[in-house]
Structure 1
Amino acid sequence: MPTTLHYRPELINKLISTERLNSYRLVFQPANDVELMGVYLWNAHVCSALYPLISAVEISLRNAIDHALTRDLGTFWWSSTQLRYRSYRAGAASPRAVQIVNDNFVAAARKYIADTRKRYQVKGHIRPTHAGVLAKTDFSTWECLLDAEFMGRNLIWPRHLSSVFSGRWPTQQAGSLLAQAKENVATLRDFRNRLFHHEPAWKRYGVQAEVDALAHLHEKLSKAENLLRLIHPESLSWLEINGLLQNAYRACNAAEIRRFQHLARVHPIGSLNVLAESVARCHEHNCVVAAHLVGDPASGFLIVPR
């Protein structure tokens, strides 16, 4: 039972730290240490549920851009001789977005070479491959490639915009679409960094209560969903068919917080009819149902929708 654990001093004070848990306490107002640690574990659960969705955004965007530009500019389209930008002036410094793209590809090539040497014990010259460099790029590369510096006559945008974003456009203006896409990518990239660095996924300025935290998470989910649909509807359908989108929305729910806090109702299952009703409720409301067999509380199990 969770109440039999010794939360203090080792678990909370030393292994996690009271400072890290203060934000959980202020926002979610747990009544005791069981509820406090429950919401902490719920955050880890949310991060794991959101990971496939954010990864799908990054990979889909990266490959859509690469596919379009490779066909037009060649295998190493990111070289300075191929990738032109609007404010280019001979001898002048590159704008920040352009410099980030250039630096990221240089760093990706170096990382590919270093990793290849280490993995395969190669000592001679290593020529970076297209796929190898692409796989090592940072998410910021694709955000910066959506910058207005690359929008103009004979530049990559708007020429390839419909190839990269083949879903239904929310606007008919190419410049407006590019700006919206970049803003959403920037938001999701910052959000991804928070997830990957074990920070509270729900935390931002203005989040003062549980309802604010859940609204913030749903906002990020909506942006990821819309961006995937814009890149290609099939990207989103793939996640939906496999239950990953539903899993993300289910995790970002107050009922899941209560479950991790051991406050959720546990349903006794005494017949196949009761089991069938619980399964139907689980699918109808996209929720996890905690249950146990009648007469055997120790036989606890979860009913989770697919």
Structure 2
Amino acid sequence: MRSADKPNGAAELTPRTASRLFGVPRMRGYLDAVGGDPAAALELYRWNTAVGGAFWETLGHVEVVLRNALADRLAARHAAAGRPGSWLDDAARELDGRARRDIAKARRRAGAKSGDAGDAQTLTELSFGFWRFLLAKRYATTLWPGLARGFPRAPDRARATVEQPVKRLHEFRNRLAHHERIWNQPLKSHHDDIVTVLGFVDEALVGWVSAGCRISEVLARCPIERPHP
């Protein structure tokens, strides 16, 4: 918050107080990046939070689109095979134990929240990690041939073409979720991965998401020179 934006009578947050509130170990990385200047470290900390927020906004679109693309293909595959119930029931036991446990937990959470443990509510309770691991090598000959059709704009049908950018975004998302330093990460590359994954699904989607995306704008305001673009 700039000085002009502070409420009347609000005290200035000093670097010493910030270190106490945010944690000395957390602030140490920022201090090291700016040669030990406490005020500059606090400015970098604020920017790190801002760019993280910008990424959260756009990654949300990736999560929803990826979830729906994969869920739709799995449902279509299940129906084409003439299997009863839902693909989430995994009657053919194609999913690994971790995925089945994730689905069971998601159903319980959905039921506890709304009393509705149906497929629609269960899907929203499944994490980004669940969908990311459906693209793993272990499913190359089982799920992937059907899942590939969920990415009609990908340059080829190779599983790794889709998995690799999704894997990187999943790892990056976990850093964001734990409020870690990201100012020293290859943020431009992560942004490119977002655009790539969205583009594999629908070209028009890239333009729509990009129109509301703040990532490039915030990246341009970084108060220091970063080790990666």
TM-score for the superposition, normalised by structure 1? 0.63
Q: 1:77 touches 1:83 (CA, 8 Å); kept in 2?
A: no
Matched ranges for 1:198-209 at <5 A = 198-202=179-183
User: How far did residue 83 of structure 1 move?
Assistant: 5.5
User: How far did residue 132 of structure 1 move?
Assistant: 0.5
Q: 2:73 touches 2:146 (CA, 8 Å); kept in 1?
A: no
* Alpha-carbon distance between aligned partners in 1 of 2:137 and 2:23, rounded to the nearest angstrom: 44
- Gaps of at least 5 residues in structure 1 are 86-97, 118-126, 203-212, 262-306
Greater relative contact order (Cα 8 A, min sep 6): structure 1 or 2?
A: 2
C-alpha distance 159-5 of structure 1, shift in aligned 2 (>3 A): closer
2:204 counterpart (215, 222, 234): 234
* Alpha-carbon distance between aligned partners in 1 of 2:102 and 2:161, rounded to the nearest angstrom: 23
Q: 1:167 touches 1:229 (CA, 8 Å); kept in 2?
A: yes
Would you say 1:73 and 2:59 are equivalent positions?
Answer: no
User: How far did residue 84 of structure 1 move?
Assistant: 2.7
For 2:8, the equivalent position in structure 1 comes to none
User: How far did residue 49 of structure 1 move?
Assistant: 0.7
Would you say 1:220 and 2:190 are equivalent positions?
Answer: yes
C-alpha distance 239-84 of structure 1, shift in aligned 2 (>3 A): same
* Alpha-carbon distance between aligned partners in 2 of 1:134 and 1:83, rounded to the nearest angstrom: 18
User: How far did residue 102 of structure 1 move?
Assistant: 1.1
Matched ranges for 1:113-262 at <5 A = 113-117=111-115, 128-152=117-141, 155-162=142-149, 164-169=150-155, 172=156, 174=157, 177-202=158-183, 213=184, 216-240=186-210, 242-244=211-213, 247-253=214-220, 256-258=221-223
Q: 1:146 touches 1:178 (CA, 8 Å); kept in 2?
A: yes
Give 1:101's aligned amino acid: A
Question: Is the partner of 1:5 in helix, strand or coil?
Answer: coil
Identity, % of aligned positions: 21
1:109 counterpart (107, 110, 121): 107
User: How far did residue 19 of structure 1 move?
Assistant: 1.7
Q: 2:15 touches 2:39 (CA, 8 Å); kept in 1?
A: no
1:57-99 residue CA offsets vs partner (Å, 9 max, x unmatched): 11111100111221231462122214636xxxxxxxxxxxx22
TM-score for the superposition, normalised by structure 2? 0.82
For 2:94, the equivalent position in structure 1 comes to 84
- Hey, which of these two has a bigger chunk of strand by percent? 1
* Alpha-carbon distance between aligned partners in 2 of 1:6 and 1:81, rounded to the nearest angstrom: 57
For 2:7, the equivalent position in structure 1 comes to none
* Alpha-carbon distance between aligned partners in 1 of 2:199 and 2:174, rounded to the nearest angstrom: 22
Give 1:243's aligned amino acid: G
Give 1:166's aligned amino acid: P
Would you say 1:18 and 2:33 are equivalent positions?
Answer: no
* Alpha-carbon distance between aligned partners in 2 of 1:110 and 1:199, rounded to the nearest angstrom: 30
User: How far did residue 8 of structure 1 move?
Assistant: 4.8
User: How far did residue 48 of structure 1 move?
Assistant: 0.8
Q: How many aligned positions are there?
A: 211
Would you say 1:43 and 2:48 are equivalent positions?
Answer: yes
* Alpha-carbon distance between aligned partners in 2 of 1:159 and 1:257, rounded to the nearest angstrom: 42
* Alpha-carbon distance between aligned partners in 2 of 1:201 and 1:16, rounded to the nearest angstrom: 16
C-alpha distance 5-159 of structure 1, shift in aligned 2 (>3 A): closer
C-alpha distance 20-29 of structure 1, shift in aligned 2 (>3 A): same
C-alpha distance 12-68 of structure 1, shift in aligned 2 (>3 A): same
For 2:6, the equivalent position in structure 1 comes to none
* Alpha-carbon distance between aligned partners in 2 of 1:129 and 1:53, rounded to the nearest angstrom: 28
Runs of 4+ in structure 1 off by over 6 angstroms are none
